[in-house]
Amino acid sequence: MIIEKLIWIIGWITSYSLHKSRKMASHIVGYPRIGPKRELKFALESFWDGKSSAEDLQHVAADLRCSIWKQMASAGIKYIPSNTFSYYDQVLDTTAMLGAVPERYLFPGGEIEFDTYFSMVRGNASVPAMEMTKWFDTNYHFIVPELGPNTKFSYSSHKAVSEYKEAKALGIDTVPVFIGPVTYLLLSKPAKGVEKSFPLLSLLGNILPIYKEVIAELKAAGASWIQFDEPILVLDLDSHQLAAFSKSYSELKSSFSGLNVLMETYFADVPAEAYKTITSLNGISGYGFDLVRGTNTLDVIKSMGFPSGKYLFAGVVDGRNIWANDLAASINTLQALEAVVGKDKLVVSTSCSLMHTAVDLVNETKLDSEIKSWLAFAAQKVVEVNELAKALAGDKDEAFFSANAAAHASRKSSPRVTNDEVQKAASALKDSNHSRATNVSARLDAQQKKLKLPILPTTTLGSFPQTMELRRVRREYKANKITEEEYVKAIKEEINEVVKLQEELDIDVLVHGEPERNDMVEYFGEQLSGFAFTVNGWVQSYGSRCVKPPIIYGDVSRPKAMTVFWSSMAQNMTSRPMKGMLTGPVTILNWSFVRNDQPRSETCYQIALAIKKEVEDLEAAGVQVIQIDEAALREGLPLRKSEQSVYLDWAVHSFRITNCSVKDTTQIHTHMCYSNFNDIIHSIIDMDADVISIENSRSNEKLLTVFREGVKYGAGIGPGVYDIHSPRIPSTEEITDRINKMLAVLEAKILWVNPDCGLKTRKYAEVKPALTNMVAAAKLLRTQLASAE
């Protein structure tokens, strides 16, 4: 009876007729742009490989955009965003709009073409790519603008206007969306050769005229609303930074005549001072707030008031997770806001762009029916937004709300969510800090006696290129088209080839290449209890890179060993040390859709216990080097400084739990990438790993500044020597120069030589020469160091 009820709920949600919805006061901040089956990803890769033309890529993008606009219009959404579709990321699109192309790309001016646009992203044969980092506290990445006093700005991309006109031709009036000028500048960095103290906000006067040009064109095209995303407002801004908002929007005010302007914020609360600053701005018609992660925003609005006559865009539908909205709770929040701002000025919205969620639950034909009833992907969230707006307007769909309440009750009472044994074990962890018994210096000495590694040891960070043949083997095994024996044979052959290649290249510490894994988090989640998986739940990480985040719906445990079979097999193929490769608990947490019915720290401790058992089994199997990746540790750092220490305490503790019981001779590595690590360097030291490899080259050695400033690091460390997200092959001389910069601030005895990250996104034609040059650079410097002694 319960199952029949759940099937009815799912049927109601997925087959609900969008076409009957009326346009109420509803708004979507942004929408996934990859397509339900990764259409954009494949179009980009085909274009980059020279298999299709720019026109082919543009055609795929136009089809996706138009489909998204039509879907939202059919669902009854009133304020539909445009200019949120990007070939890579929205910050890079703003750089293109402003013509702020670094000189090394030789941009001749005019309209930016794909060659220049993608060279900034991927580099080319002559010059490296721009830095890439995380978009606030998400797993989405953006290309960091490089600016300085000599940057030449010009209106160089008319994308916002052309997309508005494209939607209008379909009969859909959209809200063009921009990264606001203050957020853009504060997310930028001084260009190479520019003083680090250069005041980026001094460039406001250079970029605001271009914003004015775009606004003028949109007004001429008939736009009635525009949206400025200013998420930087949720950070701890100083008075000078807040004053930049007053300056910017006062300057733009005359351009706003005849337009409605929405200022959108997301990812956290807007602090009281920032709230006071922006709500006093003239020329702004409405403000958007994240009421999901911004748990105190409602109180701020009630206590400080809201400007009369302005719209409040209430982000009550979660744009960062995939759980069905609690419609009853959202109605209560909306009614409380309605009492403050008035019925006609309240707009129901998502908390942020839906690009951080999967596209459509309808595509999930294999997902467990009970769990499926608890979920809402982007398409379902669009419906939730409009149903809330209708209910607020007195047109409540009782059946829809009843189905939602039943789904929430089902999730709350389901026995599959809770495991008392796991809860008890995780709770007991808080009684110890789980430090290793010996200090890192003594451990490194013990490990060196056993491993006998040369100075400047070389290694890679896990994955090797994922070929089409390898993907075919995994796909056919999952579809039961080949036997387990055939699958193991194919993967074993691939591992053997990767091991032989590394031996030929003379790499010191090897990896097995991870041919059995499509994704570092998905692989582990598939083998842990408490996780569910989708078929088409793809989310864009950057450009063509897409991931399928697992869904953590219940308590987590490890039923059996996950990697020991493959790691032991690989170690038996070589006499050199072979790393066991694991994903750490914090990264698994931050790269999953996490249950929202208990603190994230509790879930993380559960995952840590599961990984601890795997580490112990690897050690028992004779694996002497174990890498526990925590690529996403920095990503989960709360945006407000007052909340960061609590997160770092449990995140670092979770990592230490995983390896606290290993012998001194077992070497524990970890890896981090594509975030700003300088401000958490002391927490990284507290993780107490024996060796850490960390992204460094793409950010132009930014990591090294903390060591120049006096931070002492006693464990092994491998700042990346080349960027693996670019097809560009670095020369031996370039890598040697980079290592020499490291040796200027780090002792040779603790320095490792490795790429920035894993190699799965590259081709062997790029990997082989790059690693050849990396090993040659390490050997050259070993000789020089020996001569100096």
The predicted-structure confidence for 483-492, as pLDDT tens digits, reads as follows 999 999 999 9
**Cα dihedral angle (202, 205, 206, 211), rounded to 10 degrees?**
130
Q: Which of 363-367, 522-526, 657-661 has the highest mean pLDDT?
A: 657-661
Contact predicate 309/333, CB 8 Å: no
pLDDT at 676 over 80: no
Identify the band that residue 22 occupies on the pLDDT scale cut at 50, 70 and 90. Answer: very low
Query: pTM of the entire structure?
Result: 0.92
The pLDDT of residue 43 is above 60: yes
The predicted model gives 132-155 an average pLDDT of 95
- Residue 318, classified by CB atoms within 10 Å of its CB into exposed (0-12), middle (13-18) or buried (19+), is buried
Distance of CA 414 to the CA centre of its chain: 31
pLDDT band at 674 (very low <50, low <70, confident <90, very high): low
Neighbouring CB atoms inside 10 A of 568's CB total 18
Interatomic CA distance for residues 649 and 644, integer angstroms: 9
SS3 per residue for 112-145: CCHHHHHHHHHCCCCCCCCCEEECCCCCCEEECC
Residue 782 annotated as binding?
no
Asked if residue 189 belongs to a known ligand binding site, the reply is no
Mean pLDDT of the chain: 93
Question: Confidence band (pLDDT; 50, 70, 90) for 23?
Answer: low
Whether 2 has a pLDDT exceeding 80, the answer reads no
Q: Establish whether 650 is an annotated binding residue.
A: no
Residue 14's pLDDT is what? 45
State mean pLDDT over 305-316: 97
In this structure, are residues 580 and 618 in contact, taking their beta carbons and an 8 Å threshold? yes
Q: Are 91 and 143 in contact (CB under 8 A)?
A: yes
CB 48 within 8 A of CB 122: yes
- Give the pLDDT confidence of 334-343 residue by residue, as tens digits: 999 999 999 8
State mean pLDDT over 529-556.
Answer: 93
Separation between Cα atoms, residue 132 and residue 144, nearest integer Å: 6
181-212 burial, b at 16+ Cβ within 10 Å, e below that, comes to: bbbbbbbbbbbeebeeeeebbebbebbbebbb
Q: Is 629 annotated as a binding residue?
A: yes
Query: In this predicted structure, what is the pLDDT of residue 16?
Result: 41
From the CB of residue 249, how many other CB atoms can be counted at a distance below 10 Å? Answer: 24
Please report the pLDDT score of residue 712 as a whole number: 83
- The active-site residue, picked from 27, 356, 669, 725, is 725
66 is in an annotated binding site: no
725 is catalytic: yes
Q: Are strands 545-547 and 529-532 parallel, antiparallel or unpaired?
A: unpaired
Taking only the tens place, the pLDDT of each residue in 179-217 is: 999 999 999 999 999 999 999 999 999 999 999 999 999
What is the pLDDT averaged over residues 120-134? 90
546 annotated as a binding-site residue: yes
Per the annotation, does 698 bind a ligand?
Answer: no
Q: Does the pLDDT at position 459 exceed 50?
A: yes
pLDDT of 12: 44
Confirm whether residue 752 is marked as ligand binding: no
pLDDT of amino acid 680: 87
111 labelled binding-site residue: no
pLDDT per position as a tens digit, 566-579: 999 999 999 999 99
Q: What percent of the chain has pLDDT over 90?
A: 85
Contact 93, 157 (CB under 8 A): yes
Structural domains for the chain: 1-22+287-413 (3.20.20.210), 440-787 (3.20.20.210)
- Do 702 and 481 contact (CB within 8 A), yes or no? no
